[in-house]
Amino acid sequence: MKSRVITSLLAVLSCCLVSAGCGSNSNTATAIDYSKSANWLSLPSQLDPVQNVDVFYVYPTEYFAGSTGPLIGEINDVNMVAGAKNAFQKQATAFASVGNIYAPYYRQADAVYTLGLETIQDVYNFIGGIPATDVISAFDYYIKNYNNNRPFILVSHSQGSTVVALLLQNYMKTNPDVYKRMIAAYAIGWSFTPDYFAKNTHLKFAQGPDDTGVIISYNTQGPGFTGRNPIVFPGAMAINPITWTTAGDLATVNQSSGSLLLDANGNVILPPQLQPHFADAQVTRINPTTSAVDPLSDTSVLICSSVDPAKMVIVPNIPAGFYHNYDYPFYYYDIEKNAQNRVSKFVSQ
């Protein structure tokens, strides 16, 4: 733990020596003008006349500072923009059948630095600066200028879900009329904990396939993964994206609606193709430090045991079986089907 803290401090020091003001996470940074279409990854020019639902998507971490870049990237960083477009194809498109997709670009925190943060509060503190300020500003602009009182779904992953957690905590608390129109928040790839919900009593974690106004999340890893999953913090909660329950029963590949077929580099093969009977799912309690199964632990992850970890894209310096990048693709068609169901339930109410 000490070495990780030292590494993080050195990263901050190195960054600030390279560029004046780099690494600053102050809310005083220049605000992004979300009236400009260039600052949106997805901005429907014409609404689907059949769909009276919106989707607001916040993409995962796609910014890497390297050894010389600032800890917070620019909104037009070339690599981040390219990564955001790829993530959109793997994640947001699962909701194309239910709503008009809006997705802002935002200034992201560096992936390596963020993964090295020791506690969940450290992550909230850092992401709560410029990244969260940008996204909440974009969401507020969307609500006031594009939404027109339609019901909506929040969709996010990884750093995007950390930002959405802060949006739900702050914006929705002060804007309850907006929150009433939220069908669900698929804020996958982040650790929502009982402590988070104790502090935010206006929010609740999903318990089944039909409930609305809820937060849906999980973190996927293989049964052979060892050590600390850098996305999983003590108390993390999970729901099974095949059965849509928090119970620990195994959902087999035959129960799944199917996965999204990816190439060897983890990119979407266009047009999107169904990969049947690929990923199973089981909510499992683990020790958050070792990832060993621990029925008495309060930390839950989603275990996928049907996939060969050697055939998945390996993340440098993280053991095989880290399926963070596959949270959506493994269960793509299950998510699509569930979104359709929740929209139907919400509209019928």
pLDDT at position 316, please?
85
The pLDDT value recorded for residue 45 is 81
Residue 25: pLDDT over 50: no
What confidence tens digit (pLDDT) does each residue in 47-90 have?
766 679 999 999 999 999 998 999 999 999 999 999 999 999 99
Query: CA–CA separation, 243 vs 110, rounded Å?
Result: 34
**Are residues 246 and 288 both part of a single domain?**
yes
Look at residue 144 in the predicted model and tell me its pLDDT.
97
> Residues 98, 230: one domain?
no
Asked whether residue 180 is domain-assigned, the answer is no
* Distances, alpha carbon 95 to alpha carbons 37, 52, 178, 261, in Å: 21, 13, 20, 17
Is 141 in the same domain as 259? no
User: Would you say residue 178 lies in a domain?
Assistant: no
The residue segments making up the domain with residue 51 are: 1-166
Kindly report, residue by residue over 109-156, the tens digit of the pLDDT: 999 999 999 999 999 999 999 999 999 999 999 999 999 999 999 999
pTM (2 d.p.): 0.91
Q: Same domain for 158 and 56?
A: yes
| Whether residue 47 sits in one domain with residue 159 | yes
Mean pLDDT of 37-43: 97
Place of tokens 């799944």: 256
The CB density around residue 335, as the number of other CB atoms within 10 Å, is 25
Bond from prior residue into 271 cis (ω within 30 degrees of 0):
yes
Tally of domains within the chain: 2
* pLDDT above 80 for 3: no
Please check the confidence at residue 18 and state whether its pLDDT lies above 90: no
More confident residue, 17 or 173: 173
Q: What is the pLDDT of residue 12?
A: 35
Is residue 105 located within the same domain as residue 5?
A: yes
User: In angstroms, rounded to a whole number, what is the distance separating the alpha carbons of residues 25 and 108?
Assistant: 10
